[in-house]
Amino acid sequence: KKKLKISGRELVSVPAQVFGLDQLQVLEMSPERESCLRYRMELLPQEISRLRNLTCLYVDSNNLKKIPAEIGTLSHLERLTLSNNSLSSLPPEMGALQRLHSLHLANNSLTELPAPLCQLRSLTFLDVSDNKIGTIPSSIRHLEKLETLLLLFNSLESLPEDVCLLRNLHTLWLGNNHLRSLPETFGELVNLDWGYNYCSCNFEGNPLESPPPEVCSRGPEEIRDYFLSFHRT
């Protein structure tokens, strides 16, 4: 088998037999689509390292408090979903997942953007919404392939200039933070679809001045129109 979905009304651990499936590529242990199920796994076992061929690992909506260092040995991993858990940190070994392009961390207990994420050069989708993140490290500029960055419902008071170096960004959600201003070079994120796709950028719930002069002096004309309409609403 190359794909396995484990389901149970109250799953609390990974069956030991799973770790013998060394050809497994997709492992799903999440009740996301089945509201009647309640999963309660608190720890992803170290034996996860035996599944060296995994490309997708879905562990949303459990009660994970820790991710083992052995996660870094899954060199083929491309997609990892850890949303709706109780994670307060990530192991530095995650920086070794150089094929990872999609990482979901929404609704955990993170207080900062973990440094290992900035080593994931292939990452194109990063969701860290609804945590308690207050700062973004300048090393985020290394995520040069990043296309989607979701930072809703955090505690951001400022956005580092380095975010403006992520020239491949198509979607940037910053709603419900504490942002009062934006970097002067923000208008250089020209791949954000300001004029035609509201979902490409979201600022609702921030005490931003509207329109911010440091943004309106640069970039596409749609930026000024966007902020003017945002202010009226």
The DSSP code sequence of 92-159 is GGGGG-TT--EEE--SS---S--GGGGG-TT--EEE--SS------GGGGG-TT--EEE--SS--S--
Residue 52 CA: distances (Å) to CA of 1, 2, 3, 60 = 14, 12, 14, 20
pTM over 0.85: yes
SS3 3: strand
Instruction: Name all domains of the chain by residue range, CATH numbers in brackets.
Output: 1-93 (3.80.10.10), 110-232 (3.80.10.10)
SS3 223: helix
Is residue 172 a contact partner of residue 192, using CB atoms and an 8 Å limit?
Answer: yes
Q: What confidence score (pLDDT) does residue 190 get?
A: 81
CA-to-CA distance for 134 and 117, rounded, in angstroms?
Answer: 16
Q: What confidence score (pLDDT) does residue 191 get?
A: 86
| Tens-digit pLDDT string for the chain (233 aa) | 699 988 766 778 888 899 999 999 999 988 766 655 667 888 899 999 999 999 999 999 889 999 999 999 999 999 999 999 999 999 999 999 999 999 999 999 999 988 889 899 999 999 999 999 999 988 899 999 999 999 999 999 998 999 999 999 999 998 899 998 888 888 788 888 665 555 677 788 888 876 666 665 555 666 666 666 655 55
Largest CA distance in the chain: 60
